[in-house]
Homo-oligomer: A and B are copies of this chain.
Amino acid sequence: MSSPMDLYEQLTAQGLAVRHIKAQKGNKAEVESAVQLLLRMKEDYKLLTGQDYQAGRPPTHTEDDDSGPAEDDEDDQVNPWNVSTSSAKGVDYDKLIVRFGSCKIEQELVDRIARVTGKTPHHFLRRGIFFSHRDMHQILDAYESRKSFYLYTGRGPSSGAMHVGHLIPFLFTKWLQDVFDVPLVVQMTDDEKYLWKDLSLEDCHRYTLENARDIIACGFDPDKTFIFSDLDYMGASPSFYRNVVKVQKHVTFNQVKGIFGFTDSDCIGKISFPAIQAAPSFSNSFPQIFGDRNDVQCLIPCAIDQDPYFRMTRDVAPRIGYLKPALLHSTFFPALQGAQTKMSASDANSSIFLTDTAKQIKNKVNKHAFSGGKDTVEEHRKLGGNPDVDVSFMYLTFFLEDDEQLEKIRQERCASHRRTEEVFDRDASAHDRGASGETQASDRRDRATVHDPAQTTLQLLEPSEERTLTVFCSCVITLC
């Protein structure tokens, strides 16, 4: 990966080369090509460091908007393919905001969303689970003056089963769609998964179809939601491909190297893929929804590890005549083993899948759930729990809406003599009934009011009922 200093030195050398060619009165084409290279390198430098190149002034550390360096010199590793930290409390999100150059979601913004929509803000906002944004005030300004926007989120279908962590952006997006009443596009990056994983195209496409069921089950407005597979939609929409090519023309390998850490040994598909994740940020990628309008702004709710894609997108947008997408960033959903890593589908033991049976869940929790670092049941009973690192309690902050109840449980759990396993033990029989179809949908909805860490999680693990509600088209998945 080029460091800012490497690039600074290359730029200085190229500047000298241009001067030399001019001094030698080199032919016009030669001078032009050297100058073009210099300009491109200056663009790369700006993107990597957030600073304009100045001869004689080496780069300094900075966190300008849209230009956070990708190199993780901290303990926390956060990029689309790796999230990890050494702290059991999870990633330090305040530091991440500074490093990525985004803005913290302050109480003032939460209040403004409440004011503008007339609704109580989603508990993901109230509790800082969506904690960072880019240009959200601009979206609200426009909304207040009756200019609409649209939502864009996505999923990389790397297996047939989604886990509970995958639902976070979708649950929040569903709420945003409800309160703002706006269109939503959902990109299934099956091409990305094919490029990154040892999977066949057919498998990736099948996972798209399977995952889409679970996404649809979140209850999006069928008249305003378009879910698409890249493998299908790239080959079904000339408008979409045109935007992909536009982005591809305006991003260099140096830039994706700096942003994503690609190397010369990476395949060319990976190298050009970021343009495909960028394209849905522009409304004219979807003429079936927006006609030829390219001025409908896009708001992207996503986990913060996806931000590098959209830093790049926001850098390119004005250069191809488009609006920058706005963003709302969520924290990561912790792995069963603790908040040092996010829940990941590629590690089955770290995850509770939407398709897991009650027995599987129980086994995973018993074996893997990190509940506070006490080594034995005796020790745990003696010392009490620590909700700051207790994965089970963290899950509750995601899924239990009632703030008072949550606080009560938190206090109880601090003093609790029960370990997480015991909580799950108690609830296993109830879940078993649900999974075997012995309870009815109404029962399950009732259960959602039982605010118990295990119960709330389990309720989310039951997509079978909602699946039957879905309309599902096997070719281009569309609800439009």
Give the interface of A toward B (CB within 8 A): 2, 37, 40-41, 44, 191, 194-195, 201, 231-232, 234-242, 245-246, 248-254, 256-257, 262-269, 271-272, 274-275
Chain B residues near A256: list those with CB within 8 A: 268
Known: A236-B238, A248-B272. 6 other contacts (CB 8 A): A37-B265, A201-B242, A234-B241, A249-B269, A253-B268, A269-B275
CB distance from A309 to the nearest CB of B (A): 13
A245 and B272 alpha carbons, distance in the complex (Å): 10
The smallest beta-carbon distance between A181 and chain B, in angstroms, is: 30
What 7 A-B pairs come out closest when comparing CB atoms?
A248-B269, A235-B238, A272-B272, A235-B241, A268-B272, A234-B241, A254-B264
Contact among B236, B246, B267 for A236, CB-based, below 8 A: B236
Indicate if the CB atoms of B267 and A268 lie closer than 8 Å.
Answer: no
CB pair A195 B252 closer than 8 Å: no
A274 to B268, CA, bound (A): 9
A248 touching B268, Cβ below 8 Å: yes
Main DSSP-derived SS at the A contact region? helix
A246 vs B264: C-alpha distance when bound (angstroms): 18
Q: Which residue of B lies closest to A237 (CB)?
A: B235
Of B194, B262, B264, the residue contacting A245 (CB under 8 A) is B194
Q: How many copies does the complex hold?
A: 2
A1 to chain B, nearest CB (A): 11
A267 contacts B246, C-beta separation under 8 Å = no
Are B37 and A245 in contact, with the CB atoms below 8 A? no
Q: Give the residues in chain B near A257, CB-CB below 8 Å.
A: 264
The answer on a CB contact under 8 Å between B271 and A245 is no
The complex places the Cα of A269 from the Cα of B252 at a distance, in Å, of 8
B contact residues around A240 at 8 Å (CB)? 235
- A338→B256 CA distance, assembly (Å): 42
A239 touches B235 (CB 8 A): yes
User: In the complex, which residues of chain B have a beta carbon less than 8 angstroms from the beta carbon of A253?
Assistant: 253, 262-268, 271
Tell whether, in the assembled complex, residue A231 and residue B235 are in contact, meaning their CB atoms are under 8 Å apart. Answer: no
Chain B residues whose CB sits within 8 angstroms of the CB of A250 once the complex forms: 267
Q: What are 11 A-B residue pairs whose CB atoms fall within 8 Å in the complex?
A: A194-B245, A201-B246, A235-B237, A248-B268, A249-B267, A250-B267, A251-B267, A256-B268, A257-B264, A269-B272, A271-B271
Q: Point out the residue from B44, B232, B251 that lies within 8 Å of A268, measured CB to CB.
A: B251
Chain B residues positioned under 8 Å from A263 (CB to CB): 253
A384 vs chain B, min Cβ distance (A): 35
Instruction: Identify A242's interface contact among B41, B231, B242, CB under 8 A.
Output: B231
Q: Which residues of B contact A271 (CB under 8 A)?
A: 253, 268, 271-272
Q: A44-B265, A236-B236, A265-B40 are in contact. Are A195 and B231 (CB under 8 A)?
A: no
Residues A252 and B268 in contact, CB atoms below 8 Å apart: yes
Q: How far is the CB of A81 from chain B (nearest CB, A)?
A: 12
Residues of B within 8 A of A242 (CB): 201, 231, 235
**CA gap between A257 and B265 in the complex, in Å:** 11
B245 touches A191 (CB 8 A): yes
> How far is A219 from B457 in the complex, measured between Cα atoms in Å?
68
Question: Is the pair A232, B238 in contact by a Cβ cutoff of 8 Å?
Answer: yes
CB distance from A118 to the nearest CB of B (A): 41
Most buried by B among A2, A234, A254: A234
What's the Cα separation between A277 and B449 when bound, in Å?
A: 58
